[in-house]
Amino acid sequence: MPEASRLFAAKNTIELWQQQGLLRAIDAQLGSLLQGAGTLEPIAALGALVSYQVGRGHTCLSLPQLLRDPVKTLGIDDSSSEFETQFRDLMPDLAQLVAALNRCDSVLCVAGADAVDALQPLVWDPQRQLLYLRRYWQYEQRIATWLGDRTAQLQQAGPAEPLRAVIAQLIAPKNDAISWQRLACANAAKQHFSVITGGPGTGKTYTVVRVLATLLSFHEHLRIALAAPTGKAAARMEESVNAALADTDNPALLRVKSALSRKASTLHRLLGSQRNSRYFRHNSAMPLPFDVVVVDEASMIDTEMFDALLDAIGSHTRLILLGDKDQLAPVEAGSILASLCQGAKYRHYSAAHRQWLMAASGETLPEPAASVAPGLHDHIVMLEGSERFQGAIADLALAVNACDVDAANQALTKIRLLPAPSLAVVAGQSMPALAADPKASAFWRELASGFASFIALCNQGEVGEEEAINAWAARVLSTYADYQLLTALRSGPWGQQQLNRMMEQLLRSGSASGSGAWYHGRPVMVTSNDYSLNLNNGDIGIVLKHPSDQRLRVVFPAPVTEANPAGVRWILPSRLDAVETVYAMTVHKSQGSEFRHAVMILPDRDSPVLSKELIYTGITRAKQQLSLVIPNTAVWQTALTRRVERLGGLFVASEEQEL
Residue 202 marked as a ligand binder:
yes
Maximal C-alpha separation, the chain? 84
CA angle 112, 114, 120 (to 5 degrees): 110
Sequence letter at residue 460? Q
- Strands 60-62 and 130-133, sheet pairing: antiparallel
User: Measured between alpha carbons, how far is 569 from 474 in angstroms, rounded to an integer?
Assistant: 9
Residue 75 marked as a ligand binder:
no
Beta bridge partners of 570: 555
Residue 85 marked as a ligand binder:
no
Helix, strand or coil, per DSSP, at residue 626 = strand
Cα–chain-centroid distance for residue 574? Answer: 31
CB 288 within 8 A of CB 220: no
Beta bridge partners of 292: 224, 318
Going by C-beta distance under 8 Å and a sequence separation of 6 or more, which residues neighbour residue 5? none
Helix (H) or strand (E) holding 53: helix 43-55
Beta bridge partners of 545: 552
Residue 199 marked as a ligand binder:
yes
Cα–chain-centroid distance for residue 599? Answer: 20
Helix, strand or coil, per DSSP, at residue 292 = strand
Residue 201 marked as a ligand binder:
yes
Helix, strand or coil, per DSSP, at residue 623 = strand
Helix, strand or coil, per DSSP, at residue 395 = helix
CB 225 within 8 A of CB 294: yes
C-beta atoms surrounding 202 within 10 Å: 23
Give the Å distances, CA to CA, from 15 to 1, 78, 185: 19, 17, 55
CA angle 230, 235, 240 (to 5 degrees): 125
Going by C-beta distance under 8 Å and a sequence separation of 6 or more, which residues neighbour residue 583? 451, 485, 499, 500, 503, 504, 507, 523
Give the Å distances, CA to CA, from 429 to 363, 424, 580, 584: 59, 11, 18, 16
CB 33 within 8 A of CB 17: no
CB 259 within 8 A of CB 563: no
User: Measured between alpha carbons, how far is 138 from 115 in angstroms, rounded to an integer?
Assistant: 7
Residue 479 marked as a ligand binder:
no
- Strands 523-526 and 579-581, sheet pairing: antiparallel
User: Could you tell me which residues are annotated as the binding site for ATP?
Assistant: 198-205
User: Could you tell me which residues are annotated as the binding site?
Assistant: 198-205
